């Protein structure tokens, strides 16, 4: 996994650990939680311009390192982990576990998960 992505995850986990560890007021924790995720995603989206999480450059290895999961053994469909959903660019063609292809418009994907991944993903050749 690219060092910059590891740094982003490490930063987020450290922020979340603070919220879990310290006896802070619940309203403060709620604000900090929202701020942590907003900062994380805003930073990743800026880094996306540098191809950090660019789907057009995604390899099977990169996808696996980020928690994408193969739908089944003989499939080329790699499902999005829930954390990745805010990073899917609008206009991206995605595939459902039923084989339906749709163009992501920012709201037309279900965020229900099984085993950490959604029912949508991208097709990657090994």
44 and 13 share a domain? Answer: yes
What is the percent of the chain where pLDDT is above 90? 74
Tens of pLDDT, residue by residue over 34-89, are 999 999 999 988 866 666 788 888 999 999 999 999 999 999 999 999 999 999 99
Q: Note whether 63 and 40 are same-domain residues.
A: no
pLDDT value for 50: 60
Look at residue 13 in the predicted model and tell me its pLDDT. Answer: 97
Q: Looking at residue 4, what is its pLDDT?
A: 86
Does 24 share its domain with 71?
Answer: no
**95 pLDDT higher than 70:** yes
Domain that includes residue 36, residue range: 3-48
pLDDT computed for residue 46 by the predictor: 80
Residues 34 and 68 in one domain: no
**CB–CB of 104/94 below 8 Å?**
yes
- Any domain includes 53: no
Yes or no: say if 116 and 67 are a contact pair by the CB < 8 Å rule: yes
Q: Are residues 68 and 118 in the same domain?
A: yes
Residue 106 has pLDDT above 70, yes or no: yes
pLDDT for 100 equals 96
Same domain (yes/no): 22, 44: yes
Number of folded domains that form the chain: 2
Same domain, 104 and 63: yes
Q: How far apart are the first and last CA of the chain?
A: 17
Q: Residue 57 gets which letter from DSSP? A: G
Q: What is the pTM of this model?
A: 0.86
The two structure tokens encoding residue 90: 């609008």
pLDDT of residue 117: 96
**How deeply is 1 buried, as exposed, middle or buried, from its count of CB atoms within 10 A (0-12, 13-18, 19+)?**
exposed
pLDDT at site 35: 97
């Amino acid at each position: 996994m690219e060092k910059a992505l590891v740094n982003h995850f490490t930063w987020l986990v450290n922020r979340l650990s603070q919220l879990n560890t310290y006896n802070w007021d619940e309203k403060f924790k709620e604000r900090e939680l929202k701020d942590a995720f907003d900062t994380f995603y805003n930073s990743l989206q800026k880094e996306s311009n540098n191809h950090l999480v660019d789907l057009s450059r995604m390899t099977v290895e990169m996808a696996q390192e980020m928690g994408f999961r193969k739908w089944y053994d003989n499939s080329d469909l790699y499902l999005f982990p829930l954390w990745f959903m805010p990073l899917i660019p609008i206009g991206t063609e995605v595939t459902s576990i039923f084989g339906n292809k749709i163009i992501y418009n920012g709201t037309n994907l279900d965020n229900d998960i099984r085993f950490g991944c959604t029912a949508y993903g991208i097709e990657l050749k090994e």
